[in-house]
A = this chain, B = another copy of it.
Amino acid sequence: MADSAAQDDIGADALAGHLDLEGLLEAGDLRGVDHWLAVRDLLTVADELARLQPAERAVVFRLLRKDRASDAFEALSPVHQAELLEALGDTSVHDLFYALDAADRAELLDEMPANVAARLLAQLPPEARQYTNILLGYPEYSAGRAMSPRYVSIPETMTASDALLRVRAAKLRPREVLVLPVVDATRHLVGVVDLPDVVTADGDTPVGALIRSETYSVPVGEDQEVAARLMQEANLVALPVLDTEDRLVGVLTVDDAMEIIEEEETEDAARAGGAEPISVPYLDAGVFLLARARGTWLLLLIVAAALTVNVLQAFESTLEQVVTLAVFIPLLIGTGGNSGAQAATSVVRAMALGEVRIKDLPRILRRELMVGFLLGLILGAIAYPIVGLVFGWTFAAVVSLTLLALCSWASFAGGLLPVLARQAGIDPAVVSAPLITTLVDASGLIIYFLIARVLLGL
């Protein structure tokens, strides 16, 4: 990330004598807040709103110009939207809710208490309510839940100029008509046309002749991440969503796909750190929520780590004979763990990007074994003279050989485990650095003590 400059604009402002939004609120300077809101772009406003306490957020929100308020509302996360609706608690709530698109409405309803959700739904105009209900009928995290149920479909025999008239008449949001699905008489998808191609074509060209050479679509029950990744890979701005009879039911738009990808990357980041994902922004998550998200994994990992206690107990007599062996335990198992974490991270990412599949396992293992061996060789060669001068040359040989064996083994295990996870139907991202480190610890100790026993003649 090189976004530190952008992030810290506000800080620079404050240093220059201008207070930021939080500062203005603390100072009780509502005219200042008003001015601040007027000169900032919508994204900055939404970012700053997200940072406020719920009550303050409602105060600032009321100061926004009406047209900006609904855009700012849309830019907030569902959690903040829900808090804000509660804090506002008046008639403007319905307008804000209505101004959202159907997918955002469905997401927000998931965050609301059931009785409030039912009331909000009941007060929507019939068409908007129907669209929202359609989406709520599909499972969470499916393409159907995230799609826009509003689209302009064009019969393949329609001319380009008639298609433009239909787009005009539909009065949808710009992003809902960038790509137009083309259907046959039975609502089956024939292909898609790009709006610019319809605009550029001669008016009497049949739309069927403008269809993109490649048509992608997903079933309505498809995982939303798979759909979003498909759009990312194939450079699509809209993806048709089909029901089980292959009839068009909606369109996933690129802005929603980008949001889905951001959410999924946040989940993967949490998993990579050995914790359960949470759906709340970091500063909003309570201490107990954070502790629960981390505690489950931490407990599981400490149970796995208990193995190291057993291993060391088994070698306790060796340790008593040469206490110095204990001195290198953290360095050796730490390095093994790091090497394993590096391997696991690159394989997990390559699997997420679809570069690597289960059947590539032999290739992965061969590569990781070679990389680990090479790294172990280098580290061992560097460690040998240093350890030798202080602890003697036999001891140095123990440390260097252990580094070689441990790096090779950890790197191998780091390549193996994500593939095994996928084969078992588990998200490979659970093979986190903390997990691999913990798993390598016990086996690393066994390797270390076996090498030590042989070389030191214990």
Residue ranges of A at the interface with B (Cβ–Cβ < 8 Å): 1-8, 10-11, 41-43, 47, 50-51, 67-68, 71, 75, 164, 167-168, 171-172, 174-175, 177-178, 194-197, 199-200, 213-214, 216, 223, 225-226, 229-237, 254-255, 257-259, 261-262, 264-266, 268-270, 272-275, 281-283, 287-288, 290-291, 294-295, 297-299, 301-302, 305-306, 308-309, 312-313, 316, 319-320, 323-324, 326-331, 333-335, 337-339, 341-342, 344-360, 363, 367, 370-371, 374-375, 378-379, 382-383, 407, 422, 425, 427-429, 432-434, 437-438, 441-442, 445
Contacts and interface: CB of A to CB of B under 8 A. Distances in A.
Given A213-B67, A282-B356, A309 B333 contact: no
B355 A50 contact: yes
A156 to B, nearest CB: 18
Contacts of A434: 337-338, 341-342, 433, 437
Contacts of A305: 330-331, 334-335
A270 B349 contact: yes
A356 B326 contact: no
B319 A326 contact: yes
Residue with the highest number of chain B CB atoms closer than 10 Å, among A1, A258, A308, A341: A1
Contacts of A196: 167, 172, 174, 177-178, 195
B309 A331 contact: yes
Interface of chain A, main secondary structure? helix
Contacts of A357: 7-8, 10-11
Given A200-B167, A335-B305, A225 B259 contact: no
A350 B283 contact: yes
Contact of A294 (B275, B301, B330, B371): B371
A226 to B, nearest CB: 5
Given A195-B195, A351-B1, A175 B330 contact: no
Contacts of A341: 273-274, 433-434
18 contacts: A3-B226, A43-B234, A51-B355, A167-B200, A168-B199, A172-B196, A178-B195, A237-B255, A273-B433, A295-B375, A298-B375, A305-B330, A306-B331, A316-B323, A330-B445, A334-B441, A433-B433, A433-B434
A330 B350 contact: no
A239 to B, nearest CB: 12
A431 B433 CA distance: 13
A225 B168 CA distance: 35
B327 A313 contact: yes
A450 to B, nearest CB: 16
**Closest 8 pairs (CB-CB, A-B):** A273-B345, A433-B433, A282-B350, A174-B194, A235-B255, A308-B330, A326-B326, A174-B196
Contact of A326 (B283, B312, B334): B312
A379 B302 contact: yes
B1 A290 contact: no
A329 B331 contact: no
Contacts of A327: 309, 312-313, 316
Given A319-B323, A379-B299, A216 B338 contact: no
Contact of A375 (B291, B328, B383, B429): B291
B382 A338 contact: no
